Structure 1
């Protein structure tokens, strides 16, 4: 299964680069005259959830044109688990999945796999740029989607569905505003009264890397 995911994520990372290749072409010459000369391709970010988060990490490792990336509880399949990431990177983990990392955990979350922890450790500790590792208590793997709005009684655990969605949206926006627009962001600097469920891990959050 691990090797299957390495192959699958590699294909998706190549797809992401293909999209960027196409946008680059259209920025130079768009047959439909819609995007030509209108795209700032020096400030391109990428993010995704789960398999999309894994795609994000691998795309960063394979293509330097992606200037920043954020993974919402994705795995690390491919070259990213053996190389040093060059771009700013943020990883957001649900509190439910984080429980699987504790040594005395009797049950592992469904998204957890044996290589998850060592791969995560390699990526976060070998990075050549800023890294953020955020855990959100009360979140589970699907909390990063809009499922809480579809069925709040089942999927908004201990919070309103609007607050659930606001957590993901706010940290994602803050990260890209910081690294694609150069705007300082309070949410990236430490604990937030607005989001008491969210906490940065001091070991994997490292700002000011060269």
Structure 2
């Protein structure tokens, strides 16, 4: 089910032969995409113990523009997933005006052929966490945009929570086993723990080592939207390979509210970014995280931003699809800021934030307000 899980995209979709193509981001890199199944043979599935935990990830990897020999159009979402998401959107929007079928017509423009002999380069790793119950495929355009600035981005599904996961062998696992009820914390904490273990396993599979083993290969960032923001903080608390996190407009749950972030010898930073009106003065959990931070980890980097004209629904790929489908008349769902502008802002700020947190550069745009991005408000 698609509940309270919206994110961002920021491009202009162009109609080509009946399809809609997300234009390439204008970052310095082109991007390749692969989808992979990972199986944790050592762990029974936390929602169905009859089989080991199976995961699907999408990997978005930068390629220097001169090294990309060919670009191709790639289907945004397979038919079976698109049909399920059409039904979810009809139920979520509580309207029959959703243009059924558009999801299966969307395409990404990606690098599909790298020049022979191109030396493979290693890029900093960013994890991208989805909203509660939401397929990773609704974050593909966002991942491509972030990757175009020079980061390898991994987007994750979490079967039985994620609304629908299709595996290469044709198996489909439906989700919705975690109710979208902020007052029912037990299932939410269970889901956070499942996401934590999924993420740690994925990092193991990627070969990311702990700082004690290899300090140069231990710094990973985690961008999470909605429930994915809570998952980012929960993962940082328990897996110190993740040293920098972002919560895009999500509620906060779990032990991190009382423990905070930061470990001796392993600095951790965190960025809270809310839609207009969602901040630590209105959200008691965000305020609690700040109180814990100020009491126990005042030396760790933490800031809070907001974006004028945005809503929860401003922060996922759907904001562009809504423009194309003529649904922007409802600003309470999609906000007043266009998808292209939201993408431009977030791409710039994420580039500078992770440049600081993962590679030791200065704060850049995070140092304070910038007239070029007047929509961005520094809250704390």
In the other structure, the counterpart of 2:377 is 199
How many angstroms apart in 1 are the aligned matches of 2:197 and 2:256?
14
1:91–1:98 distance in 2 versus 1, CA, 3 Å: closer
Question: What is the Cα deviation at residue 117 of structure 1?
Answer: 4.4
Q: Answer yes or no: is the 8 Å Cα contact 1:46–1:66 preserved in 2.
A: yes
- Structure number with greater Rg is 2
> What's the TM-score, normalizing by structure 2?
0.43
How many angstroms apart in 2 are the aligned matches of 1:15 and 1:157?
32
Aligned equivalent of 1:78, options 254, 257, 262:
254
Q: Answer yes or no: is the 8 Å Cα contact 1:144–1:168 preserved in 2.
A: no
How many residue pairs get aligned? The number is 177
Aligned equivalent of 1:2, options 181, 185, 202:
185
Question: What is the Cα deviation at residue 124 of structure 1?
Answer: 4.3
How many angstroms apart in 2 are the aligned matches of 1:97 and 1:21?
35
Deviations 1:145-187 (A, max 9, x none): 1222112334554333210222222222211111111122421
Aligned equivalent of 2:285, options 110, 113, 116:
116
Moved more, 175-184 or 73-82: 73-82
Q: Runs of 5+ in structure 1 lacking a partner?
A: 28-39, 102-111, 203-210
Deviations 1:100-130 (A, max 9, x none): 81xxxxxxxxxx7xx5345433454343510
Structure with the higher fraction of residues in strand conformation: 2
In the other structure, the counterpart of 2:98 is none
Secondary structure, in 3 states, of the residue corresponding to 1:129? coil
Counting only pairs closer than 5 Å after superposition, residues 46-61 of structure 1 correspond to structure 2 as: 46-61=222-237
Q: Runs of 5+ in structure 2 lacking a partner?
A: 1-183, 210-215, 263-267
In the other structure, the counterpart of 1:94 is 275
Secondary structure, in 3 states, of the residue corresponding to 1:199? strand
Q: Does 1:41 align with 2:217?
A: yes
Secondary structure, in 3 states, of the residue corresponding to 2:259? coil
In the other structure, the counterpart of 2:206 is 23
How many angstroms apart in 2 are the aligned matches of 1:57 and 1:99?
16
RMSD: 2.4
Q: Does 1:162 align with 2:340?
A: yes
Deviations 1:55-78 (A, max 9, x none): 000001111111211111222222
Structure with the higher fraction of residues in helix conformation: 1
